[in-house]
Structure 1
Protein backbone atom coordinates (compact mmCIF):
# COMPACT_ATOMS: atom_id res chain seq x y z
CA UNK A 1 0.00 0.00 0.00
CA UNK A 2 1.27 3.46 -0.90
CA UNK A 3 2.00 5.84 1.98
CA UNK A 4 -0.10 8.99 1.62
CA UNK A 5 0.94 12.17 3.40
CA UNK A 6 -1.77 14.62 4.35
CA UNK A 7 -0.72 18.04 5.57
CA UNK A 8 -2.03 18.39 9.18
CA UNK A 9 -3.15 21.99 8.55
CA UNK A 10 -5.12 20.96 5.45
CA UNK A 11 -6.75 18.12 7.40
CA UNK A 12 -7.64 20.41 10.33
CA UNK A 13 -9.14 23.00 7.95
CA UNK A 14 -11.15 20.33 6.11
CA UNK A 15 -12.57 19.01 9.40
CA UNK A 16 -13.41 22.58 10.47
CA UNK A 17 -15.77 22.80 7.50
CA UNK A 18 -18.06 20.34 9.27
CA UNK A 19 -20.05 22.13 11.99
CA UNK A 20 -20.45 20.28 15.26
CA UNK A 21 -21.99 20.76 18.63
CA UNK A 22 -19.80 21.69 21.57
CA UNK A 23 -19.64 19.42 24.60
CA UNK A 24 -17.79 19.41 27.88
CA UNK A 25 -16.90 16.03 29.37
CA UNK A 26 -16.44 15.95 33.15
CA UNK A 27 -15.25 13.50 35.76
CA UNK A 28 -13.32 13.69 39.04
CA UNK A 29 -9.61 13.46 39.68
CA UNK A 30 -8.16 11.26 42.43
CA UNK A 31 -8.69 14.07 44.99
CA UNK A 32 -12.36 14.53 44.07
CA UNK A 33 -11.81 17.76 42.14
CA UNK A 34 -13.61 18.58 38.90
CA UNK A 35 -11.67 17.82 35.70
CA UNK A 36 -12.81 17.87 32.11
CA UNK A 37 -12.25 18.92 28.54
CA UNK A 38 -14.14 20.54 25.68
CA UNK A 39 -14.95 18.13 22.85
CA UNK A 40 -16.48 18.47 19.43
CA UNK A 41 -15.53 14.85 18.66
CA UNK A 42 -18.78 13.43 20.06
CA UNK A 43 -21.47 11.31 18.47
CA UNK A 44 -24.35 8.97 19.15
CA UNK A 45 -23.45 5.38 18.33
CA UNK A 46 -26.21 2.90 19.25
CA UNK A 47 -29.83 2.92 20.39
CA UNK A 48 -29.75 -0.56 21.97
CA UNK A 49 -27.84 -0.31 24.19
CA UNK A 50 -27.77 3.50 24.29
CA UNK A 51 -24.15 4.32 23.42
CA UNK A 52 -22.27 7.52 22.63
CA UNK A 53 -18.65 8.10 21.75
CA UNK A 54 -16.28 10.88 22.68
CA UNK A 55 -12.64 11.20 21.70
CA UNK A 56 -10.18 12.80 24.14
CA UNK A 57 -6.59 13.49 23.09
CA UNK A 58 -4.19 10.99 24.59
CA UNK A 59 -2.27 14.00 25.92
CA UNK A 60 -5.35 15.32 27.76
CA UNK A 61 -4.87 15.60 31.51
CA UNK A 62 -8.47 14.38 31.91
CA UNK A 63 -8.10 11.20 29.85
CA UNK A 64 -6.50 9.03 32.59
CA UNK A 65 -9.22 10.06 35.07
CA UNK A 66 -11.97 9.05 32.63
CA UNK A 67 -10.48 5.58 32.30
CA UNK A 68 -9.77 5.21 36.02
CA UNK A 69 -13.26 6.33 37.10
CA UNK A 70 -15.11 4.35 34.43
CA UNK A 71 -17.82 7.06 34.40
CA UNK A 72 -18.29 10.58 33.12
CA UNK A 73 -20.86 13.21 32.15
CA UNK A 74 -21.16 14.74 28.69
CA UNK A 75 -22.68 18.23 28.67
CA UNK A 76 -24.12 19.48 25.37
CA UNK A 77 -23.56 23.18 25.89
CA UNK A 78 -26.26 25.80 25.66
CA UNK A 79 -26.00 28.70 23.22
CA UNK A 80 -24.73 31.08 25.92
CA UNK A 81 -22.01 28.82 27.36
CA UNK A 82 -19.00 29.78 25.22
CA UNK A 83 -17.09 30.91 28.35
CA UNK A 84 -17.55 27.45 29.84
CA UNK A 85 -16.33 25.81 26.62
CA UNK A 86 -13.26 28.03 26.59
CA UNK A 87 -12.49 27.32 30.26
CA UNK A 88 -12.45 23.57 29.65
CA UNK A 89 -10.51 23.98 26.38
CA UNK A 90 -7.62 25.69 28.16
CA UNK A 91 -4.68 23.89 29.74
CA UNK A 92 -3.63 23.90 33.38
CA UNK A 93 -4.74 22.48 36.68
CA UNK A 94 -6.64 25.58 37.81
CA UNK A 95 -8.62 26.12 34.60
CA UNK A 96 -11.95 25.21 36.20
CA UNK A 97 -11.25 25.61 39.91
CA UNK A 98 -13.62 28.60 40.26
CA UNK A 99 -16.57 26.99 38.46
CA UNK A 100 -19.71 25.98 40.30
CA UNK A 101 -20.77 22.38 39.93
CA UNK A 102 -22.72 19.70 41.76
CA UNK A 103 -22.52 15.94 42.15
CA UNK A 104 -25.13 13.66 40.63
CA UNK A 105 -26.59 10.58 42.32
CA UNK A 106 -24.48 8.52 39.88
CA UNK A 107 -21.23 10.13 41.09
CA UNK A 108 -20.62 12.49 38.16
CA UNK A 109 -19.75 16.17 38.46
CA UNK A 110 -22.46 18.20 36.71
CA UNK A 111 -22.35 21.74 35.33
CA UNK A 112 -25.38 24.02 35.26
CA UNK A 113 -27.02 25.39 32.13
CA UNK A 114 -26.28 22.64 29.60
CA UNK A 115 -28.95 21.90 27.02
CA UNK A 116 -28.49 18.19 27.67
CA UNK A 117 -26.41 16.08 30.05
CA UNK A 118 -25.68 12.41 29.37
CA UNK A 119 -24.28 10.48 32.32
CA UNK A 120 -22.29 7.48 31.12
CA UNK A 121 -20.30 4.50 32.27
CA UNK A 122 -17.27 3.54 30.19
CA UNK A 123 -18.39 0.68 27.93
CA UNK A 124 -15.30 0.28 25.69
CA UNK A 125 -12.06 2.07 24.84
CA UNK A 126 -10.18 1.95 21.54
CA UNK A 127 -7.05 3.48 20.05
CA UNK A 128 -7.58 6.25 17.52
CA UNK A 129 -4.23 7.73 16.49
CA UNK A 130 -3.40 10.59 18.84
CA UNK A 131 -6.85 10.30 20.47
CA UNK A 132 -8.70 7.61 22.41
CA UNK A 133 -12.17 6.53 21.35
CA UNK A 134 -14.25 6.18 24.50
CA UNK A 135 -17.67 4.61 24.20
CA UNK A 136 -20.03 5.44 27.00
CA UNK A 137 -23.22 3.61 27.89
CA UNK A 138 -25.80 6.23 28.78
CA UNK A 139 -27.17 5.75 32.31
CA UNK A 140 -29.21 8.95 32.64
CA UNK A 141 -30.33 11.86 30.44
CA UNK A 142 -31.28 15.35 31.59
CA UNK A 143 -32.60 17.63 28.82
CA UNK A 144 -33.61 21.30 28.82
CA UNK A 145 -35.06 23.62 26.21
CA UNK A 146 -32.87 26.15 24.48
CA UNK A 147 -30.35 26.76 21.76
CA UNK A 148 -27.00 25.04 21.50
CA UNK A 149 -23.41 26.14 20.97
CA UNK A 150 -21.89 25.17 17.60
CA UNK A 151 -18.27 25.03 16.43
CA UNK A 152 -17.55 25.80 12.77
CA UNK A 153 -14.36 26.96 11.05
CA UNK A 154 -12.62 27.72 14.31
CA UNK A 155 -15.43 29.77 15.82
CA UNK A 156 -18.17 29.05 18.32
CA UNK A 157 -21.61 30.36 17.45
CA UNK A 158 -25.02 30.49 19.08
CA UNK A 159 -27.62 28.27 17.41
CA UNK A 160 -31.06 29.18 18.69
CA UNK A 161 -33.85 26.64 18.35
CA UNK A 162 -36.78 27.84 16.23
CA UNK A 163 -39.35 29.43 18.49
CA UNK A 164 -36.98 29.48 21.49
CA UNK A 165 -34.96 32.50 22.51
CA UNK A 166 -31.31 31.77 23.27
Structure 2
Protein backbone atom coordinates (compact mmCIF):
# COMPACT_ATOMS: atom_id res chain seq x y z
CA UNK A 1 0.00 0.00 0.00
CA UNK A 2 1.28 3.46 -0.90
CA UNK A 3 1.32 6.11 1.80
CA UNK A 4 1.49 9.75 0.82
CA UNK A 5 1.15 13.08 2.49
CA UNK A 6 -0.52 16.11 1.03
CA UNK A 7 1.96 18.94 0.68
CA UNK A 8 0.84 22.35 1.95
CA UNK A 9 -0.55 24.69 -0.72
CA UNK A 10 2.50 26.97 -0.49
CA UNK A 11 4.83 24.04 -1.18
CA UNK A 12 2.66 22.87 -4.10
CA UNK A 13 2.85 26.37 -5.62
CA UNK A 14 6.64 26.43 -5.18
CA UNK A 15 6.93 22.94 -6.71
CA UNK A 16 4.88 24.07 -9.73
CA UNK A 17 7.20 27.07 -10.20
CA UNK A 18 10.28 24.85 -9.91
CA UNK A 19 8.95 22.44 -12.56
CA UNK A 20 8.21 25.41 -14.86
CA UNK A 21 11.97 26.04 -14.95
CA UNK A 22 12.35 22.93 -17.11
CA UNK A 23 11.32 23.68 -20.72
CA UNK A 24 9.25 20.97 -22.34
CA UNK A 25 7.58 20.25 -25.60
CA UNK A 26 3.82 20.63 -25.87
CA UNK A 27 1.72 17.65 -26.85
CA UNK A 28 -1.97 16.97 -27.33
CA UNK A 29 -3.18 13.48 -26.54
CA UNK A 30 -6.36 12.39 -28.35
CA UNK A 31 -8.69 9.43 -28.06
CA UNK A 32 -12.30 8.55 -28.79
CA UNK A 33 -15.15 8.67 -26.30
CA UNK A 34 -17.88 6.01 -26.15
CA UNK A 35 -19.86 7.75 -28.91
CA UNK A 36 -16.85 7.98 -31.24
CA UNK A 37 -16.26 11.68 -30.56
CA UNK A 38 -12.93 13.43 -30.13
CA UNK A 39 -11.56 13.85 -26.59
CA UNK A 40 -8.13 14.98 -25.54
CA UNK A 41 -5.90 17.08 -23.34
CA UNK A 42 -2.73 19.14 -23.56
CA UNK A 43 0.28 17.56 -21.89
CA UNK A 44 3.84 18.60 -21.23
CA UNK A 45 4.33 15.49 -19.04
CA UNK A 46 5.45 13.30 -21.94
CA UNK A 47 8.67 11.37 -22.52
CA UNK A 48 10.25 8.60 -24.53
CA UNK A 49 10.83 5.50 -22.43
CA UNK A 50 12.21 2.57 -24.46
CA UNK A 51 13.49 1.77 -27.94
CA UNK A 52 12.81 -1.97 -27.75
CA UNK A 53 9.89 -2.14 -27.56
CA UNK A 54 9.18 1.44 -28.65
CA UNK A 55 7.50 2.98 -25.58
CA UNK A 56 6.52 6.49 -24.51
CA UNK A 57 4.84 7.76 -21.40
CA UNK A 58 2.26 10.46 -20.85
CA UNK A 59 0.78 11.53 -17.52
CA UNK A 60 -2.85 12.70 -17.47
CA UNK A 61 -4.37 14.13 -14.30
CA UNK A 62 -6.70 11.67 -12.59
CA UNK A 63 -9.32 14.44 -12.73
CA UNK A 64 -8.99 14.76 -16.52
CA UNK A 65 -12.22 14.02 -18.39
CA UNK A 66 -10.07 12.32 -21.06
CA UNK A 67 -8.21 9.94 -18.75
CA UNK A 68 -10.98 7.28 -18.49
CA UNK A 69 -11.33 7.21 -22.29
CA UNK A 70 -7.59 6.54 -22.74
CA UNK A 71 -7.74 3.55 -20.43
CA UNK A 72 -11.11 2.23 -21.66
CA UNK A 73 -10.21 2.52 -25.34
CA UNK A 74 -6.69 1.17 -24.92
CA UNK A 75 -5.33 3.39 -27.69
CA UNK A 76 -4.48 7.04 -28.24
CA UNK A 77 -2.48 9.43 -30.38
CA UNK A 78 0.15 11.82 -29.08
CA UNK A 79 0.62 14.94 -31.22
CA UNK A 80 3.90 16.82 -30.75
CA UNK A 81 2.65 20.27 -31.65
CA UNK A 82 4.20 22.41 -34.36
CA UNK A 83 5.40 25.90 -33.52
CA UNK A 84 2.23 27.54 -34.87
CA UNK A 85 -0.27 25.38 -32.94
CA UNK A 86 -0.62 27.36 -29.71
CA UNK A 87 -4.37 27.80 -30.33
CA UNK A 88 -4.75 24.02 -30.52
CA UNK A 89 -2.80 23.59 -27.28
CA UNK A 90 -5.04 26.13 -25.54
CA UNK A 91 -8.23 24.51 -26.86
CA UNK A 92 -7.25 21.12 -25.43
CA UNK A 93 -6.02 22.70 -22.18
CA UNK A 94 -9.46 24.19 -21.48
CA UNK A 95 -12.26 22.47 -19.57
CA UNK A 96 -15.70 21.53 -20.83
CA UNK A 97 -17.37 19.04 -23.11
CA UNK A 98 -17.47 21.34 -26.15
CA UNK A 99 -13.85 22.50 -26.02
CA UNK A 100 -12.93 20.67 -29.23
CA UNK A 101 -16.33 20.32 -30.92
CA UNK A 102 -15.43 22.58 -33.85
CA UNK A 103 -11.97 21.13 -34.53
CA UNK A 104 -11.24 19.27 -37.75
CA UNK A 105 -9.85 15.76 -37.31
CA UNK A 106 -9.67 12.43 -39.11
CA UNK A 107 -9.78 8.83 -37.91
CA UNK A 108 -6.70 6.74 -38.65
CA UNK A 109 -6.96 3.11 -39.72
CA UNK A 110 -5.68 2.23 -36.21
CA UNK A 111 -8.77 3.93 -34.76
CA UNK A 112 -7.13 7.08 -33.40
CA UNK A 113 -8.39 10.63 -33.91
CA UNK A 114 -5.67 12.63 -35.67
CA UNK A 115 -5.21 16.39 -35.81
CA UNK A 116 -3.66 18.13 -38.81
CA UNK A 117 -0.37 20.01 -38.78
CA UNK A 118 1.48 18.42 -35.84
CA UNK A 119 5.25 18.16 -36.03
CA UNK A 120 4.96 14.47 -35.15
CA UNK A 121 2.15 12.05 -34.31
CA UNK A 122 2.71 8.84 -32.37
CA UNK A 123 -0.15 6.35 -32.48
CA UNK A 124 -0.06 4.13 -29.40
CA UNK A 125 -1.73 1.21 -27.72
CA UNK A 126 -1.90 1.26 -23.93
CA UNK A 127 0.94 -0.96 -22.70
CA UNK A 128 0.82 -0.32 -18.91
CA UNK A 129 -0.74 2.05 -16.37
CA UNK A 130 0.82 3.10 -13.07
CA UNK A 131 -0.13 5.31 -10.12
CA UNK A 132 1.56 8.69 -9.93
CA UNK A 133 0.04 10.78 -7.15
CA UNK A 134 -2.70 12.96 -8.62
CA UNK A 135 -1.75 11.78 -12.13
CA UNK A 136 -1.69 8.44 -13.90
CA UNK A 137 1.43 7.27 -15.72
CA UNK A 138 0.34 5.74 -19.01
CA UNK A 139 2.90 3.83 -21.04
CA UNK A 140 2.04 3.56 -24.70
CA UNK A 141 3.57 1.20 -27.23
CA UNK A 142 4.19 3.19 -30.40
CA UNK A 143 2.58 1.46 -33.38
CA UNK A 144 2.88 4.21 -36.01
CA UNK A 145 4.89 7.41 -36.42
CA UNK A 146 4.07 10.31 -38.73
CA UNK A 147 6.75 13.03 -38.79
CA UNK A 148 7.21 16.27 -40.67
CA UNK A 149 10.08 18.70 -40.52
CA UNK A 150 8.80 21.73 -38.63
CA UNK A 151 9.54 23.81 -35.59
CA UNK A 152 7.87 22.77 -32.34
CA UNK A 153 5.92 24.47 -29.58
CA UNK A 154 7.70 24.73 -26.21
CA UNK A 155 6.38 25.45 -22.72
CA UNK A 156 8.61 27.29 -20.22
CA UNK A 157 7.80 29.38 -17.15
CA UNK A 158 4.08 29.36 -17.90
CA UNK A 159 4.42 30.48 -21.52
CA UNK A 160 4.42 28.81 -24.89
CA UNK A 161 6.95 29.74 -27.52
CA UNK A 162 8.01 28.79 -31.03
CA UNK A 163 11.15 26.68 -31.30
CA UNK A 164 12.33 26.82 -34.90
CA UNK A 165 14.34 24.07 -36.54
CA UNK A 166 18.02 24.26 -35.51
CA UNK A 167 20.43 25.47 -38.14
CA UNK A 168 23.05 22.92 -37.06
CA UNK A 169 22.04 19.44 -35.98
CA UNK A 170 23.63 18.20 -32.77
CA UNK A 171 24.76 14.59 -33.08
CA UNK A 172 25.04 12.58 -29.87
CA UNK A 173 27.94 10.22 -29.31
With normalisation by structure 2, the TM-score equals 0.91
Q: Secondary structure at the match of 1:27?
A: strand
Measured against aligned partners, the alpha-carbon deviations of 1:126-145 in whole angstroms (never above 9, x if no partner) come to: 00000000000000000001
Q: Which moved more, 1:125-134 or 1:6-15?
A: 6-15
Find the counterpart in structure 2 of residue 162 from structure 1: 166
Find the counterpart in structure 2 of residue 56 from structure 1: 60
Find the counterpart in structure 2 of residue 107 from structure 1: 111
Please, which runs of 5 or more residues in structure 1 have no aligned partner?
none
By how many angstroms is 1:4 displaced?
9.5
Find the counterpart in structure 1 of residue 89 from structure 2: 85
Aligned pairs, how many? 162
Find the counterpart in structure 1 of residue 22 from structure 2: 18
Measured against aligned partners, the alpha-carbon deviations of 1:41-97 in whole angstroms (never above 9, x if no partner) come to: 000000000000000000000000000000000000000000000000000000000
Q: Does 1:118 align with 2:122?
A: yes
Measured against aligned partners, the alpha-carbon deviations of 1:107-139 in whole angstroms (never above 9, x if no partner) come to: 000000000000000000000000000000000
Q: Which of 10, 31, 44 is 1:27 aligned to? A: 31
CA distance in 2 between partners of 1:94 and 1:4 (Å) = 32
With normalisation by structure 1, the TM-score equals 0.95
Find the counterpart in structure 2 of residue 127 from structure 1: 131
Give the superposed CA RMSD.
1.4
Please, which runs of 5 or more residues in structure 2 have no aligned partner?
168-173
By how many angstroms is 1:9 displaced?
0.5
- Runs in 1 of length 4+ with deviation above 3 angstroms? 3-6
Distance change (3 Å), C-alpha of 1:18 and 1:105: same
